Structure 1
Amino acid sequence: MSKQFQGYLYLSLAMLLVGSTVVASKIIASGLPPFTATALRFAIALPLFLVLIRLTATPSPRATRRDWVILLLQAGAGSVGYTTLLISGLKFTPATDAGVIIGTLPVVSAAIAIVVLGERPQRSVLLAVALAAAGVLAIVFRPDADHPHSLAGSALIFGAVVCEGLFILLNKRLKTEIPPLALSSLMAGLGGAIAAPIALTELPWTGQMTVSAIAAVVYYALVPTVGGFVLWYAGLAKVSGSEASVFTALAPVSAVLLAFAVLGEPLALNQLLGIGCVLAAVVGIGLPASRTPSALSPQSKAQ
């Protein structure tokens, strides 16, 4: 198995976990304020990251001042921005709608990779992105939808998508190579430091916190946060940003299916067709890499 194909596998698993955050956030939205939930998420995840660092003897990062600025932007955008905007949007929007909107992540991520990172993706990557986008459009087209659509909720969730796109690709601008586990710990620590002061202004102790919301935060902290962070950074170290953007299409697939299975929200035939397009895009880009070893080292790809 080539390093590139391993990267594709890690990215796929990470994005499936990202999709599950939609269901978790829908449950959290009914019982916790967004910044409180975000701060609690990282308060639970950070100690586990630190234990894993100790057990694996992961070296401490020696980042430059410029790298610290990028890390802070990543934490603010992805760690805090994505979570709080997603939870806030899901107060007004069904989880299936959120899954559809998250489906724009491949296009947003590809745009960031090209505009911000200056990458020039191969035609096969662009074709895969187009196929993934077609799948998203098939999911969006739902003439039989019988629930109200909130413009404000949709706008908040799209803002979360932009934050997630920045989060997953800004890593390519780092000059210092930081181990995935150390990088994940930094995201949790910085994210918690940003969210905690704002959480105090929400006065969470004056509201009604539900057991299901707290349980959803615990899941969010342990599975998508710890597992998802490590898997994504490990995969991103082996592929280009534009290639990684294709795999973000798995997030809406996971979100829509889990919203149907866990929350009981409806799933239409056109959504299944869209999911098929998304999976075809991911398989289409992944199979060639499984036969051809990557010609670029992780460090050269990160430049």
Structure 2
Amino acid sequence: MRIVFLNSMEKRDEEGLHLQGAQVWIGEEEGIWRMGWKELSTGKETLWYEDTSWSEMLHVYRHRLASKLSEGFRPSIEGVFHDQPETRSRPTQAQKLICYSELHTNDALFAELSAWRRRRAQTERKAPYLIASNRLLRLISTYQPQTIAELMQLPGVGESKSAEYGAELIALLQTDDRAHDFPLVWVEQALDPEESRSWVYKQKEMKYRVEMERFGLRRQLQSLMSEGLGIEEICVHTGLSRREVIEMIEELDKEGYEVDLILDGELQHMSEEEQSEVWKAYEELGDTYLKPILQRVYGMDLEEGADVEKMYEQLRLIRIRYRRRHVIMTSAG
């Protein structure tokens, strides 16, 4: 096997006295890519990837390496993500505030704020995350701002959110024994540099895991489409919703992948006249919004029992072809 990339990694033990060495490597043999991790002290080697896709291997590489970096391993050669991450791995001021709040949580106050969020969500009939994310509640519970001005120093709090919820939050946070002062310039000194750097890599690990899983789903979707499976069957195999499958089909078409087989299958029961009317509506009204297209083709008052969701799906599938042709014509012109 031909080794095409190798980097040595080091991690200090908990006492900081000894170094633990390791290597991450990538090799190729007859079109098969292999990638692995080797512990130098024991000689134990773990295979991270073995297949033919360079793109898939890179997704696995970024995720697995970020996991090791979050554990405290550091590379001998910087730039291990091939995108100059070492300069980006120094946390920004906002990241430092978030990092400290997640490493020094106030669980009791967080629970109280979460209960307030549930009540507001029920009153406003909206998803709790639209009122405040868990991360924002962690920030608030850790730093306990006592005024609107202090609240707005936290990442994720703007004028709109502070105007809508600020007074209620400040009322919940009034205390005489707050442990932290504002402004929050002290946070940088309070954070251990290696601890905060590992936290940044943990965020990368979670990001790359999502990207890796999505890449795997895209590959699975391409395989299932090539077998002639329809959207409903793909949903069964992947666990995705019909909407998510259509969104992926749109992405694949934009990137130049073949999707006509599944479009043909899903639109086979829609008459050519009906498809032609939809196409004309796109030409007249544009392809940004679907509701005007639906109303133009089917009228303002749909028949009772009409499957509106199915109609929107068909409009989106036809729009894939419409946009593709528009891009081709624009390029040719």
Task: Provide TM-score, normalisation by structure 1.
Answer: 0.21
Of structures 1 and 2, the one scoring higher in RCO (CA 8 A, sep 6+) is 1
Higher share in helix: 1
Structure of greater Rg: 2
Higher share in strand: 2
Task: Provide TM-score, normalisation by structure 2.
Answer: 0.19
